């Protein structure tokens, strides 16, 4: 008849009831001491052996930066541009921000794809495949992206906004540098993130869950504000006692990376440069190309072959060949299978599957063949596309639908075009009465920030309308300044 289970027993506890004499093991990638205790209790483990590896990832450099104004966009752009080889993940707090960051990158010549829960499954799979095959190196997504992703050559993970918890940050950044080579993990947050996080916590009805959420909130606040090593802070959060005090590479231990410090101009930059004379050496470890010097044309030629092969096999590019193996091929340029087998990563099975193809590709390269120009996706031109749609008479809502963006993202892009003088503010976007009210409010509050203007205006005037009018005011001021 089987074992009868008591009503209300959690599924995890049912395992011990169903299999009283069987050994049970539990595994997790990241768990605090409390979570580990809960796992033991829920699974009914009896005097279990607990094996906990170190939470330190020595090849990762953590950089935490509070951003003000439009600084976050500049920081994202700078972080992505630093990556010359390998892949990048940018995590955003909202679906709307996904579209905004993709537009930002593509306006600056960097192809990017999106990934979030509101996309249909086919679109998500297609974008993930483009990213995995390195047809597009940058993926911008919400936390919906990442489960099961094990791409070795992710050279940077950029997190916008404060995560819900340190565990979430650790999981996201843990997707970087899985090949053991240096990788950067950036957290670019803004003060308004605190209010947004507090708002969501206050929506929680269950008192115990709300209390846990507030605990995670305060832990995250402590992490970003702490003046101690980021790696040590993460280890301490998970209950790991470390014998070392300084990782030597995070923003606290070594100061901000040079490119980011130039944007910050704080005394901390000077202090760290003075207190850490080895900073230049540590930074060089992360700024150097993570692969050995190779013939770039040959590497690109073999990367295209790898992408095409991965598509035919319906697998990830790194499964066909790791970057390190590809670089070694470019250096050695084997002419026979015997020479090919001597290369690290080219075992018997790999040589059997791809050996002759690889040797043929090397011969073709020697005869002058090169990679096609089309295998990397070309960045779109969001501003041009939007201008063309505006000229055809489409509304903001229609453009958002056509381009797969949120309306606020389209408005933000149009505002930028207005400010640059590439289009003018149209009467149908903001009626004359509202426009005049916004202009008067801007005289009191200035045009640097939108919120002070919003605070003195009637509730019915939206941020989008304010953004458009302020862009026109800024353009007019710039024109007057230039003329003078």
Looking only at the bridges linking them, the beta strands covering 183-189 and 112-115 are: unpaired
pLDDT digits (tens, 9 = 90+) for 341-355: 999 999 999 999 999
Which CATH number is 296-366 given?
A: 1.10.150.80
pLDDT digits (tens, 9 = 90+) for 163-206: 999 999 999 999 999 999 999 999 999 998 888 889 889 999 99
Range 60-287 has CATH code 3.90.1150.10? no
End-to-end Cα spacing for the chain = 92
pLDDT band at 39 (very low <50, low <70, confident <90, very high): confident
CB 68 within 8 A of CB 75: no
Confidence (pLDDT) at 318: 83
Query: Would you give the distance in Å from CA 74 to the centre of its chain?
Result: 14
Q: Which of 269, 274, 268, 242 is nearest to 258 (CA)?
A: 269
pLDDT digits (tens, 9 = 90+) for 263-307: 765 434 334 443 454 555 555 556 574 445 789 899 999 999 998
Beta bridge partners of 244: none
Confidence (pLDDT) at 51: 67
pLDDT band at 5 (very low <50, low <70, confident <90, very high): low
Q: Which of 279, 57, 315 is nearest to 177 (CA)?
A: 57
Confidence (pLDDT) at 263: 74
Looking only at the bridges linking them, the beta strands covering 112-115 and 154-160 are: unpaired
- Enter the pTM of the model: 0.75
Residues of the chain with CATH 1.10.150.80: 296-366
Confidence (pLDDT) at 262: 80
Query: Would you give the distance in Å from CA 234 to the centre of its chain?
Result: 19
Question: Which residue has tokens 């976050």?
Answer: 72
CB 472 within 8 A of CB 418: yes
Average pLDDT along the chain? 87
pLDDT digits (tens, 9 = 90+) for 238-270: 989 999 999 999 999 999 998 998 876 543 433
Confidence (pLDDT) at 206: 93
pLDDT at 3 over 90: no
Residues of the chain with CATH 3.40.50.300: 60-287
Its sign, for the CA torsion 326, 330, 336, 342, is: negative
Its sign, for the CA torsion 296, 299, 301, 304, is: negative
pLDDT digits (tens, 9 = 90+) for 312-337: 888 878 889 988 899 899 999 999 99
Q: Which of 106, 127, 107 is nearest to 116 (CA)?
A: 127
pLDDT band at 70 (very low <50, low <70, confident <90, very high): confident
């Amino acid at each position: 008849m089987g074992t009868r289970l008591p009503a209300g027993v959690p599924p995890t506890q049912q395992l011990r009831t169903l299999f009283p004499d069987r050994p049970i093991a539990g595994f997790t990638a990241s768990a605090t001491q409390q979570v580990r205790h809960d796992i033991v209790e829920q699974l009914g483990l009896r005097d279990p052996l607990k094996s906990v590896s170190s939470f330190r990832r020595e090849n990762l450099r953590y950089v935490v930066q509070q951003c003000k104004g439009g600084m976050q966009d500049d920081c994202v752009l700078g972080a992505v541009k630093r990556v010359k080889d390998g892949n990048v993940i940018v995590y955003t707090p909202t679906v709307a921000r996904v579209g905004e960051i993709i537009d930002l990158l593509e306006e600056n010549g960097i192809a990017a794809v999106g990934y979030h829960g509101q996309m249909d499954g086919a679109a998500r799979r297609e974008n993930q495949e483009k990213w995995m095959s390195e047809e597009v190196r940058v993926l911008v997504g919400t936390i919906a992206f990442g489960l099961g992703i094990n791409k070795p050559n992710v050279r940077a993970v950029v997190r916008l906004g404060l995560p819900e918890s340190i565990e979430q940050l650790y999981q996201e950044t843990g997707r970087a540098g899985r090949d053991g080579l240096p990788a950067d993990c950036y957290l670019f947050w803004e003060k308004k993130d605190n209010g947004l996080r507090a708002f969501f916590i206050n929506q929680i009805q269950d008192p115990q869950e709300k209390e846990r959420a507030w605990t995670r909130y305060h832990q995250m606040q402590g992490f970003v504000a702490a003046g101690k090593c980021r790696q040590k802070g993460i280890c301490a959060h998970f209950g790991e006692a470390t014998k070392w005090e300084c990782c030597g590479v995070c923003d606290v231990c070594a100061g901000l990376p040079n490119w980011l410090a130039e944007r910050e101009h704080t005394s901390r930059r000077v202090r760290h440069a003075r207190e850490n004379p080895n900073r230049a050496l540590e930074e060089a470890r992360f700024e150097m190309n993570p692969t050995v010097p190779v013939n770039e044309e040959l590497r690109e030629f073999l990367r295209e072959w790898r992408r095409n092969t991965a598509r035919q096999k319906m697998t990830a590019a790194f499964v066909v060949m790791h970057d390190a193996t590809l670089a070694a091929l470019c250096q050695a340029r084997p002419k026979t299978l015997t020479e090919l087998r001597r290369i690290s990563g080219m075992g018997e099975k790999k040589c059997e599957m791809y050996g002759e193809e690889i040797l043929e590709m090397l011969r073709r390269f020697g005869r002058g063949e090169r990679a096609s120009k089309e295998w990397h996706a070309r960045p779109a031109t969001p501003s041009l596309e939007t201008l063309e749609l505006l000229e055809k008479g489409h509304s903001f809502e229609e453009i958002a639908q056509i381009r797969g963006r949120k309306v606020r993202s389209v408005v933000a892009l149009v505002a930028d075009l207005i400010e640059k003088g590439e289009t003018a503010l149209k009467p149908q976007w903001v009626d004359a009465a509202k426009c005049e009210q916004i202009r008067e409010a801007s005289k009191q509050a200035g045009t640097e920030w939108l919120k002070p203007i919003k605070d003195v205006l009637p509730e019915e005037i939206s941020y989008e309308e304010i953004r458009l009018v302020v862009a026109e005011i800024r353009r007019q001021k710039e024109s007057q300044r230039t003329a003078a």
